[in-house]
Amino acid sequence: MNTHASWPVAELHVHIEGTLETELLVTLARRNGVELPSYDPDALRELYRFTDLQSFLDIYYANLAVLRTEADFYDLGIAYLTRATAAGVRRAEIFFDPQTHLANGIPLDVVFAGLTRALTEARATLGISADLILCFLRHLGGAAALETLDAAIPYLDQFIGVGLDSAEVGFPPSLFTEVFAKAGALGLHRVAHAGEEGGPDYVHEALDLLGVERVDHGIRAIEDPHLIEHLRERQIPLTVCPLSNVCLRAVPELGVHPLPAMLAEGLLVTISSDDPAYFGGYVDDNLNAVQNEFALSPLQMATLARNSFRASFLPEAEKLRQI
Ligand code: ADE
Ligand code: ZN
């Protein structure tokens, strides 16, 4: 039964690079003369069978070679914002991975110009509130993250926070204390992926060493009663992405996802899509999936929607208006 009616929500965990649908991938590959394994969008989608986070990241990073110009980043941004608005998203806090594009020879100027133009236009034409969060790639280490933050300082008016993503296990938050301290001193919000594949200790480190305000994924926090208590008492938001967790086998199937247990523990859980072009669904699809799988009540669905605004970086007055 599908009873979800596109509640207004904030989407707090979405990678703009992960919204690159195969149709746009093919268009950009042709536009820029970039080779792909196939030029058939359906055939490309068929390749999206993942066994873990790394198996996804390998394809995801390879596909990003098609993003070369300001117009490419604009097209990517406006496509997501249009689809998200249709999904009920009223506020989007959007990750982007500048180090990937720098490694492909694309200057920061190009990335910011295209994404910022998309956000500005979407605010005006779609009425969606949206901001960017700059993510550091953990597999490149702390020194590279610091270099990236320094290079992004001229663009401080174009992003509201920093995040931490890419391969988790083996790249703990403790490697990034310096760059997160500097980001905090610059007045930026701080979030980090933790407890997706890594254990509860990664969540502890993200909170204690990086000072994050939200935890992205955080599903493995459920294994640690003390951590649960800490997250509940402080109402630290967890941006949970159920379809992503199934596709990347962080959980064996949706039916055993810890979401119901997290809600029962009184955690501030929100639902997001992560990389919707790869995991078979935008935020509305994720909400539908959990509502159907766990027979969530209208009250529980309303709690998830309200949590998303509570957990957002909107000013308090604006949060109250949305809730
Ligand atoms: N980059 C894009 N999606 C990601 C995820 N789910 N985990 C870590 N890094 C990512
Ligand atoms: Zn993510």
In this structure, which residue's CA is closest to atom 9 in ligand 1?
166
pLDDT surpassing 90 at residue 184: yes
What integer pLDDT is reported at residue 5 of this predicted model? 53
| Best probe residue, ligand 1, of 16, 19, 57, 245 (max atoms within 8 Å of C-beta) | 57
Q: Output the CA 28–ligand 1 centroid distance in Å.
A: 22
In this structure, which residue's CA is closest to atom 10 in ligand 1?
166
pLDDT tens by residue, 151-171 = 999 999 999 999 999 999 999
Active site positions, annotated: 196
What integer pLDDT is reported at residue 171 of this predicted model? 98
Mean per-residue pLDDT of the chain: 97
| CB-ligand 1 contact for 244 (6 Å cutoff) | yes
In this structure, which residue's CA is closest to atom 1 in ligand 1?
166
Q: How far apart are CA 277 and CA 215, in angstroms?
A: 22
Check: CATH 3.40.50.720 for 15-311? no
| CB-ligand 1 contact for 18 (6 Å cutoff) | yes
Q: Output the CA 193–ligand 2 centroid distance in Å.
A: 7
Angle in degrees, CA 13, 142, 12, rounded to 5: 10
| Best probe residue, ligand 1, of 56, 94, 279 (max atoms within 8 Å of C-beta) | 56
| CB-ligand 1 contact for 193 (6 Å cutoff) | yes
pLDDT tens by residue, 69-100 = 999 999 999 999 999 999 999 999 999 999 99
| CB-ligand 1 contact for 68 (6 Å cutoff) | no
Tell me the pLDDT band of 287, cut-offs 50, 70 and 90: very high
C-beta atoms surrounding 2 within 10 Å? 8
Residue spans per domain, the chain: 15-311
What integer pLDDT is reported at residue 4 of this predicted model? 46
| CB-ligand 1 contact for 275 (6 Å cutoff) | yes
What integer pLDDT is reported at residue 113 of this predicted model? 99
pLDDT tens by residue, 204-247 = 999 999 999 999 999 999 999 999 999 999 999 999 999 999 99
Q: Output the CA 166–ligand 2 centroid distance in Å.
A: 8
| Best probe residue, ligand 1, of 48, 50, 53, 95 (max atoms within 8 Å of C-beta) | 53
